[in-house]
Amino acid sequence: DAKTTQPTSMDCAEGRAANLPCNHSTISGNEYVYWYRQIHSQGPQYIIHGLKNNETNEMASLIITEDRKSSTLILPHATLRDTAVYYCIVRVGGNNAGNMLTFGGGTRLMVKP
């Protein structure tokens, strides 16, 4: 799987949009971009994933550049409960459990009042 590069930490004001960037310049055509987050001491939580089109769900939006070399996770109205480590992961798609989910260091997002 391609490696990803994320900022180590970011701050965001409560109520504002949080934009978390991720670079994955060596991504392959069959690899998806996944985002997970881990709130302190808890298991990671799946947020969203996409291949090349922008995606939105009840938690967040995912914007993938046209060349697919980078993406941005957007939390539209950040709350204090969104304070967590956010992981951007590139993974081969398909129904093969052997396509491992490999976690890097992630971005520590701090939402401040």
**Interface with another protein, residue 41, by CB under 8 A:** yes
Q: Note whether 99 binds another protein by CB under 8 A.
A: yes
The verdict on 91 binding another protein (CB under 8 A) reads: yes
Which residues make Cβ contacts (< 8 Å) with residue 40, sequence separation at least 6? Answer: 83, 84
Which of the ranges 14-22, 29-37, 61-69, 72-80 carries the binding residues for another protein, by CB under 8 A?
29-37
E strand residue ranges, 9-56: 9-13, 18-23, 31-38, 45-50, 55-56
| Cα distance between residue 6 and residue 83, in whole Å | 16
Residue 7 in contact with another protein, rule: CB under 8 A: no
106 binds another protein (CB under 8 A): yes
The span of 18-26, 64-72, 73-81, 97-105 binding another protein (CB under 8 A) equals 97-105
Distance in angstroms (rounded) separating the CA atoms of residues 26 and 1: 9
